[in-house]
A and B are shown apart, each in its own frame.
Chain A
Amino acid sequence: MASSSISNPAPNFVSRTALSTKPIVELLPGIVLLAVVGYGGKFIEHSIAAYGKAHHLVLPNIEYVLWAILIGLAISNTVGVPAIFRTGVATYEFWLKAGIVLLGARFLLGDISRLGGLSLALIAIELVLALSFMTYLGRAFHLKPKLISLLAIGSSICGVSAIIAAQGAIDADEEDSSYAIAAILALGAISLFVFPVIGHALHLSDRAYGIWAGLAVDNTAEATAAGALYSDAAGKVAVLAKTCRNATIGFIVLGYAIYWASKGKAAVVENKAAFLWRKFPKFILGFLLISLLATVGFFTKPQILALGNLSRWAFLLTFAGVGLRTNLRELSKQGARPFIVGAVGEVAIALITLGLVYGADHLYHL
């Protein structure tokens, strides 16, 4: 959430100003709202289960993740999120990153190298196919060239943040960024509801589903939620796969920056190593450090359990934020063509990655 500013980040009403520049008092109301909405989701899940048990009824188990998102969606799309809460709600990305770092305690480095290595191999294939397909599709629909680049980057790597990272690097219009962000967010919201259904229909294992969600859902918050909606174990794997995908952001954005600079339509990248470091998601280093500490036995088992629970609480705030920042009316204002290109591309990417995961599952028994 930083200094990269977008005048109209579409549904993402949250201005991406640096978290640290805001006084705590300004953040508190929104953080409390995140906690209330998130805990509300947990409370509803628990209440329904308790009611079913008390009355000997078999009620569908709807996860707190979905309740938290639905409550958030209901607020943002009816009464709207009052201005006093917005700055604090924007911290959902901070909670997401803190949750991912803490989740590192639940992974041994061996798991990371095995699952992460497999994920990286699948990501390499996904990136080539997704970038090529989105570029072809954008050209077929006569979208502006830089909007095509933004949509390709957003759908192949990392959603909103990748688009914002690329916007500055390739000197794209803010309007193009808003279109691309709107398309990615709308499709992310849809994937939350569709992915678990497909996963269950295909009887995917937790690991296979988690890798699929991590490879195919663009925004990290939505990928984490889509994984957690399936199961706790799938959520864990989805975060790992998505984190691997995030790690590639600098390389792809650098590639596009060099391409547009060669055409004289973006600034030349002077120091490529510094560029890569600037774009590298630093929280991944924190995730690896905690995992290393867990692997060498720095934490006891109860402590690892406690860290895992802390991570769950952080994700709970994130899920509330996903619902609260999604405004369907704003999304619909962003124009049909970028959305159609995004939607067709996302469906294709989801199918391709599903095929990849299916193949890997048969070969390596995920």
Chain B
Amino acid sequence: MSADSKSHFWSTDTLAVLVALLAALLVRVGILQTIPW
């Protein structure tokens, strides 16, 4: 993992964390309410 986390900011790791945090925020504020599985 994270071999790809080179010095540039927009690595896959950083993007994945930002997207996941954004999704968590959307769930928290109720924009994403129920996610079926």
Contacts and interface: CB of A to CB of B under 8 A. Distances in A.
B11 A2 contact: yes
Contact of B5 (A279, A309, A313): A279
A286 B35 CA distance: 21
A94 B12 contact: yes
B3 A313 contact: no
The prevalent SS among residues of B at the interface is loop
A4 interface: yes
Interface residues of B, number: 29
Interface string A174-197: 000000000000000000000000
Interface residues on A, range: 35 or more
Nearest to A311: B20
Given A281-B2, A310-B32, 19 more contacts: A2-B8, A4-B3, A4-B6, A19-B10, A94-B12, A94-B15, A98-B19, A101-B21, A102-B24, A164-B4, A246-B1, A249-B2, A283-B17, A286-B16, A299-B24, A303-B28, A306-B32, A310-B27, A312-B37
Interface of A: 1-4, 16, 18-20, 93-98, 100-102, 105, 158, 160-165, 220, 246, 249, 278-283, 285-286, 289-290, 293, 298-299, 302-303, 305-307, 309-310, 312-313
Interface of B: 1-8, 10-17, 19-21, 23-24, 27-28, 32-37
